[in-house]
Each structure stands twice: as structure tokens, then as C-alpha cells.
Amino acid sequence: MATTNEAMAEIQRQVMWNRLIAVVEEQAQTLIRTAFSTTVREAGDLSAGIFDLQGRMLAQAVTGTPGHVNTMAEAVGYFLEKFPAATMKPGDHYITNDPWLATGHLNDLTVVTPAFHRGRIVALFANAAHVVDVGGLGMGPEGRSVFEEGIYIPIVKCFDAGVPNATFFDFIRAGSRLPVELEGDIYSLCACNDAGARRLVEMLAEFDLAGVETLAEFIFAASRRATLEAIAALPRGTFRSEIMSDGYEEPVKLCAAMTVGEDVIEVDYAGTSGLSQRGINVPPAYCRAYASFGIKVVVAPEIPNNWASLLPFRMKIPEGCILNAPRPYPVSVRHVIGQLLPDLMMGCLYQIVPEKVAAEGSSALWNPPLRGGSQVSGQARPGRPVVDDFEVITFNSGGTGARATLDGLDATAFPSGVRTMPVEATENVAPVVIWRKELRPDSAGAGRQRGGCGQIMEIATKGDLEFAVNAIFDRVGNPPRGRAEGGDGAAGVVALRSGTKLRTKGFQIIPDGEHLVLLMPGGGGYGDPRERSREAVARDLRDGLISAEAARTLYGFEQEND
């Protein structure tokens, strides 16, 4: 039986763990409140966390995306290789957007900052966030190498003992279409780490601790033990799954063989399609990030996400496959492939724990990068209104897959977890008009539990003048699949208002007088649609989520006449 002192120590460690979560969540909220880019302050496309001096992640903020969090978990070690902890000073901030050392593409900035207590370095704070523009071709798949995709920032100091690196900021401003926003975002990233460091120091002083070492060992030991217990409860064996992406030049096949061992889950991607000549390739850290997330949300969802709880998930990514892009392959929109990986993992896990697995969803975000003004239209023609140059991206999602006992979520981002951006936020920063933004009827896959509905968006500029979209969409040729006899979700559509279909990926002009129309995919259904409750079908029909024909043909539901 534990002594009173041991029990009190255990309680105190749990209190400190809860405080640590509050510290990193305040870190993330500081970033949201101070960011310039709508991608951060409106969509929450970011991560924040605290690390020990070996670069091991102790805790992450609740706010954030798996692609940022789990790649950031690897990135801090690379910072320490170049700038050892012993060389860091108060007020230092280090930054990179190297896709192979951090989050997988140039539009994400990762910042690492030391925290000092009683005159010595005690921890590192890190964050990552998606900024709107880093120059180059802009966010899209058209580049043929990473050098075309924007400014490439190696791991450098952006602040030295609190003093901004003037040369660094000169380069940053000169290389972006949105210099003020980009510089402001970097200051925001640094401020957010400073906020976390201040709160940590207050916490250490309150508990009379010299550092985080003891707390780190408690967190790591408990997390690893709980993760291994969750793995041990699974049946042993190798389970295989495949999923298709629309790709760019041709469809892309993703293959996985998941082997569950006594204390490890290993995934082998042999058979996956080869590299693309365009920017849909995935750096290996991003593959590990989303695949680990897809496993963890099923196998060990309640266990904190940190260095120790991620250790048992291992990946074998063959050279030459699209999930293991080497430098300098283009990777700007690696998410359109990478965000399918949780669905791929669940295809394996469905054979093990079907009741815990969702049907496939829209998965990859439907974020149209929009551009207009002289950079699209050239010199203004006589008698034609002039549109100021603009560069903006708005975050949107289709539906998620249904679960064994719950419907899918409508117009909700999974697995990224980012928020859908309000129409007003986009229209406030660019001469863009979003004419329609509504749920898409009959897009949800039918099932005992139906999938989530996609969205309809109709976009134009003020005055209906031409603009460009750098399309980065998927699930058009390969809609989300249902499970356990559930129906597939509706495929996505990219088109003009006139009905002309557009390519799902690549830079395209929307002509004068036309609107861009996006029909986002719905999530797959789960279970036999004929087993869906009559009340649920009637409610969906009443709410306009399904048509009378769908209710009759898919669910066997006949509407009663008044």
C-alpha cells in the first residue's frame, strides 16, 4: 500500500501535469490572439508544446493539428543539433520552414525558444503555424522542385538575446507577397513561446522545482506504460489496407501492412505509388505524423500525446514512394495525400477493432488558395475596373465518416482538426465575395449511422472580375468509402457556375463574370442504411440533408402524407 507521502507526491505530479497542459494551451491561445494570418487566428492551423533539453515532447496544446504537433515532435531535435541547449541565451528564438526538418512544406514556420529559471535553461518551447504566403509559386501543386515553392529558411536565429535579426527580416519581407503579415506572424510565433516560458517559470517557482526533469520522467513513464498496455490488448497479426487518391498526373495508391506486436505497431508502406513530379509528395516526417495519429486515436485515444506515447508506433517507408519524398522534390500540398493516412490506418484497424473505427471521410482539406489583381490579369485594360492584388486562402472541409454508434460530422475537418473559417474573415482581408456556403444535400454516405455532409461554396471577386484558384482538392475521383455495408460519401466537384468542370489540382483562371463552385465530399456511412432509425431519417429529410428520393431508395423511408 502506498504511504501517505507517496500518495501526496502522486497527486502533486498530477496537479503539475494539469498545470503544464494549461501552460501550453495558453501558449497556443497567445498565438491565435496575436497572429496576422487568418490561417492561424481563424482556422487554428498551428501547434504548440513544451520539450525537455533532449528535444523530447512533454506536452502539447489541445489546440493544434496532428501534422504540426507530431512533426514538431521530431523537429526540436534538429534545432538542438545546430544550436545545442548550452549555447542558448534568454531572448533567443530559432526558426525554420525546412520541409524535411519540420512540418513538411514551406508555408509552415516552426519556432523554438529556450525557457530559463534561476539562471539556467530548463526547457524548450516550440510552435508551428501555417502562414498565407512565403513567395514562390504560392501554395499549390505546380512546382517541380521545392525551390519553386517559396522562401527556404534553414534553422537560424530570428532573435538573438531579444534583438531581432535585421538581415533575416529583410530577406523575409522581400520574398513574400504579404510582407507585413509574414513579419507579424513571426513576431507572434515568438511571443507565444515567451508566454509559455513565463507561465512555466511561475509554475516551477510555485512548486519549488529547479527544472522539469522529474516531471518529465513521470509523464514519459506513465504514458509509455499506458500505451503499451493498450497495444498488448490487441490481437497479434498483420493487417492490410489500400486507399486511392486522385493524385496529379495519375491516381495514387497508398498501401499499408500494419503488424501488431506485443509492444509495437509497425506499418510498412510497400506497394505505395511512386513519387510525383508535382507538389503532392509527402516528406517522411509528415507521413509518420498523420499515420501515428490515425493509429493513436483508435488504439490509445485517452493517453496524452508526447514523446513516450508515440515511441511504439514505427514506420517503414520505402525509398522512392510518394510518402518518402527526398530533397528537393516539390511538397507544397503534401496534405492532400498525407491527410488520407488516418483513413488508411483505420482500414487496417477495422479488421482488429471495428467498433472503434470510423468510415472514410473527406479527409484532405478543401482550402482554395485564391489570387487576383495584376499578378493574374496583367496591366489593367481601358474601361475595366482595377482589382488590388490579393493572396488569400480560406479553410473548409467536407464531411467526416460515420462511426459505429454516431453519425459523421457535417463540414468538419478530420484528421487535421482545423476550424472552418468564417466567410466574413475572408471577405474582410481580400476583395472576395462568397455567395454561397451551405451544407450539401445528399452528400452524406447512407448507413445505420450516416456520414457527415459536405458543403457547397460559391466564390467570386467583387465586380465578378477574373481571379485565379490554385486547386488542391481530392476525393473527386475516389469518394470516401463506407464501412459495414454503409454507403460511400458523395464525390467532390470543382467547377464554374456555368457548369464547366475544372481540374482538381493546379493553377486555373476563373474568367470575368464566372464564379468558382466547390461541392465538397461527404463522409462514408456505417452499417446497413435500412437499419437507420425512422426518426433519424425523418429528421434528416426535414432538415434538408437528404432528399425524399434518397430517403425512399437508400433508407426505405416513405414520407407520410399530411
Contact 84, 54 (CB under 8 A): no
Q: Quote the pLDDT of residue 58.
A: 96
* pLDDT value for 557: 87
Q: Please, which residues have CB within 8 angstroms of residue 37's CB and are 6 or more apart in sequence?
A: 129, 130, 131, 132, 181, 185
Question: Which numeric CATH code is attached to 4-211?
Answer: 3.30.450
Following DSSP, what letter does each residue of 470-503 receive, concatenated?
A: EEE--SSSSPPP-BTTPPPPPPPEEEETTS-B--
Q: Which helix (H) or strand (E) holds 325?
A: none
Burial (CB count <10 Å: 0-12, 13-18, 19+), residue 128: buried
User: What pTM did the predictor assign?
Assistant: 0.95
Q: What is the pLDDT along the chain (562 residues), one digit of tens a residue?
A: 457 777 887 888 888 999 999 999 999 999 999 999 999 999 999 999 999 999 999 999 988 899 999 999 999 999 999 999 999 999 999 999 999 999 999 999 999 999 999 999 999 999 999 999 999 999 999 999 999 999 999 999 999 999 999 999 999 999 999 999 999 999 999 999 999 999 999 999 999 999 999 999 999 999 999 999 999 999 999 999 999 999 999 999 999 999 999 999 999 999 999 999 999 999 999 999 999 999 999 999 999 999 999 999 999 999 999 999 999 999 999 999 999 999 999 999 999 999 999 999 999 999 999 999 888 887 766 667 767 789 999 999 999 999 999 999 999 999 999 999 999 999 999 999 999 999 999 999 999 999 999 999 999 999 899 999 999 999 999 999 999 999 999 999 999 999 999 999 999 999 999 999 999 999 999 999 999 999 999 999 999 999 999 999 999 988 765 4
Q: Check residue 9 and give its pLDDT.
A: 79
- Residue 266: other Cβ atoms inside 10 A: 15
- Number of neighbours of residue 179 by Cβ within 10 angstroms: 15
Residue 483 has phi, psi (to 5 degrees) of -130, 155
Burial of 235: CB neighbours in 10 Å, binned 0-12, 13-18, 19+: exposed
The reported pLDDT for the residue numbered 562 is 40
Whether 49 and 87 have beta carbons less than 8 Å apart is answered as: no
Domain regions of the chain by residue span: 4-211, 232-357, 358-562
Per-residue pLDDT at 2: 56
pLDDT of residue 64: 85
Q: What are phi and psi of 497, to 5 degrees?
A: -60, -30
Q: Are 290 and 68 in contact (CB under 8 A)?
A: no
Residue with cell 488569400: 392
DSSP state of 256: E
